[in-house]
C-alpha cells in the first residue's frame, strides 16, 4: 500500500467490462480528485495487476466476463498481501443474497449503478478513513494498550476487516469467535472490554449472544456493538431491546465506528 493522505494520493484498479462505463466511472472519480486509476476488464486481469504493483483501492463491477465481483474479492481476501485492500463494489444488483458475500468480505462500500457524486464521495471518504484514518487515537485515560476486544463473525474476512479498523485505534488485544456459541466460550474464560458482533451467524446468532451477555454472563455490563447487514427492522428492534450498545451497517464507515467505540467505552456501555 502506498503512502496516502488525501484522495489525490489513492491509487486504484478499476474492474469494469464496459469501456463506456469505465470511462464514466473514471470521470466521476476525477471529480473527487482520484486520478491514479488503472482500468482492466476482467477479474483475472485485476489479480495480475494487483500482483504486479500494489494499489490502495480496488473498484469492481459485480458481473465480469470471467468471474463475479464477489468471487474476485473472495480470492483477494485469501491472499495474505491483499487481505487489507480497500474494496468498493459498483453494481445495479439489489438482491440481498447476491450482495451478502461482498458485505461479509469487508467492503468499504457498495454503490448502485448509476451512482451520484454524493454517494461516491461518501464511499471514498469511508475508504480514505480505512486506509489513512485522520484521528485514530483513543483517549489516554482509556489505557488503550490494555483494552481487550472480542470480534464475533462467521466470516473470517469480516473479522479481519473489523480487526484492521480497531488496530488503527491502537488497540492490540483481540479475541475472535465464529459465532455466538464460540463467543460464549471465550467470555466464560476471558475478561473483555468490548464485544463487536454480527447478527446472522450459525449455532447462535447476534441477538441470542446479546441476550446471553446481558442475562447470564458474569460480564453483563460489557459494551456490545453490532456490525450487521441485517435489514429486518423488527429483528434489529429486538436486538436493541436485548441490550446492544449500538448497531451499524455493513459496509461501515470506520470514522463512525471510532466515534461509537469512544462513546460506549467512555460512557461505560
The yes-or-no verdict on residue 268 having pLDDT over 60 is no
What's the Cα-to-Cα distance from 101 to each of 65, 98, 123, rounded to whole Å?
Answer: 19, 7, 18
124 & 226 share domain: no
192 & 227 share domain: yes
Per DSSP, 169 falls in state T
Is the pLDDT higher at 62 or at 136?
A: 62
Out of 131, 151, 167, pick the residue that ends a domain: 131
181 & 233 share domain: yes
113 & 175 share domain: no
Q: pLDDT, tens digit, for every residue of 5-41? A: 789 999 999 999 999 999 999 999 999 999 999 999 9
User: Which range of residues forms the domain containing residue 42?
Assistant: 7-131
CA 117, CA 98: separation in Å to the nearest integer?
25
Q: For the sheet containing 86-91, what is the strand order?
A: 36-40, 11-15, 57-61, 86-91, 109-112
As a whole number, mean pLDDT of residues 152-175 equals 88
As a whole number, mean pLDDT of residues 73-86 equals 89
62 & 153 share domain: no
Q: Is residue 1 part of a domain?
A: no
Question: What's the CATH code of the domain at 53?
Answer: 3.40.50.2300
189 & 236 share domain: yes
Out of 105, 131, 157, pick the residue that ends a domain: 131
Q: Is residue 2 part of a domain?
A: no
- Which three cell numbers, joined as nine digits, stand for 267? 460512557
Residue 206 CB neighbour total at 10 angstroms: 29
Q: Is residue 119 part of a domain?
A: yes
The yes-or-no verdict on residue 141 having pLDDT over 70 is no
Q: pLDDT, tens digit, for every residue of 185-223? A: 999 999 999 999 998 899 999 989 999 999 999 999 899
The answer to whether the beta carbons of residues 169 and 139 sit under 8 Å apart is: no
Out of 88, 114, 131, pick the residue that ends a domain: 131
- Close Cβ partners of 22 (under 8 Å, ≥ 6 residues apart): 14, 16, 39, 41
Is the pLDDT higher at 146 or at 166?
A: 166
Q: For the sheet containing 148-152, what is the strand order?
A: 173-177, 148-152, 194-197, 224-228, 246-249
Place of cell 468499504: 108
As a whole number, mean pLDDT of residues 126-143 equals 69
CA angle 44, 45, 50 (to 5 degrees): 95
166 & 214 share domain: yes
* Bond before 99 cis per omega within 30 degrees: no
- Which three cell numbers, joined as nine digits, stand for 265? 467505552
Please state the domain count of the chain: 2
CA 83, CA 54: separation in Å to the nearest integer?
12
Q: What is the full DSSP assignment across 34-86?
A: --EEEEESSHHHHHHHHHHS--SEEEEESB-SSSBHHHHHHHHHHSGGGTT-E
What's the Cα-to-Cα distance from 33 to each of 121, 161, 178, rounded to whole Å?
Answer: 10, 25, 39
| Percentage of the chain lying above the pLDDT 90 cut | 54
Question: Beta strand pairing status for 224-228 and 194-197?
Answer: parallel
Residue 166 pLDDT: 86
Task: For the chain, give the mean pLDDT.
Answer: 87
Listed residue (121, 169, 176) closest to 143, CA to CA: 169
Amino acid at each position: 500500500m502506498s503512502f496516502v493522505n488525501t484522495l489525490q494520493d489513492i491509487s486504484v484498479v478499476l474492474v469494469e467490462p464496459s469501456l463506456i462505463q469505465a470511462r464514466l466511472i473514471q470521470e466521476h472519480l476525477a471529480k473527487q480528485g482520484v486520478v491514479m486509476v488503472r482500468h482492466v476488464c476482467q477479474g483475472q486481469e485485476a489479480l495480475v495487476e494487483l500482483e504486479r504493483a500494489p494499489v490502495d483501492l480496488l473498484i469492481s463491477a459485480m458481473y465480469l466476463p470471467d468471474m463475479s465481483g464477489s468471487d474476485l474479492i473472495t480470492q483477494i481476501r485469501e491472499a495474505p498481501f491483499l487481505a487489507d485492500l480497500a474494496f468498493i463494489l459498483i453494481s445495479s444488483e439489489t438482491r440481498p443474497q447476491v450482495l451478502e458475500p461482498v458485505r461479509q468480505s469487508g467492503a468499504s462500500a457498495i454503490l448502485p449503478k448509476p451512482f451520484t457524486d454524493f454517494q461516491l464521495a461518501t464511499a471514498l471518504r469511508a475508504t480514505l478513513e480505512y486506509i489513512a484514518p485522520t484521528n485514530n487515537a483513543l483517549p489516554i485515560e482509556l489505557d488503550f494498550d490494555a483494552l481487550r476486544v472480542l470480534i464475533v463473525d462467521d466470516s473470517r474476512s469480516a473479522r479481519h476487516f473489523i480487526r484492521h479498523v480497531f488496530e488503527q485505534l491502537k488497540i492490540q488485544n483481540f479475541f475472535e469467535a465464529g459465532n455466538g456459541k464460540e463467543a460464549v466460550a471465550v467470555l466464560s474464560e476471558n475478561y473483555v472490554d468490548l464485544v463487536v458482533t454480527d447478527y446472522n451467524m450459525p449455532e447462535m446468532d447476534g441477538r441470542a449472544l446479546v441476550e446471553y451477555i446481558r442475562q447470564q454472563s458474569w460480564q453483563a455490563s460489557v459494551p456490545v456493538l453490532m456490525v450487521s447487514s441485517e435489514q429486518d427492522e423488527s429483528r434489529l428492534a429486538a436486538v436493541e431491546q436485548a441490550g446492544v450498545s449500538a448497531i451499524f451497517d455493513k459496509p461501515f464507515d470506520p470514522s463512525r465506528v471510532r466515534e461509537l467505540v469512544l462513546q460506549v467505552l467512555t460512557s461505560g456501555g
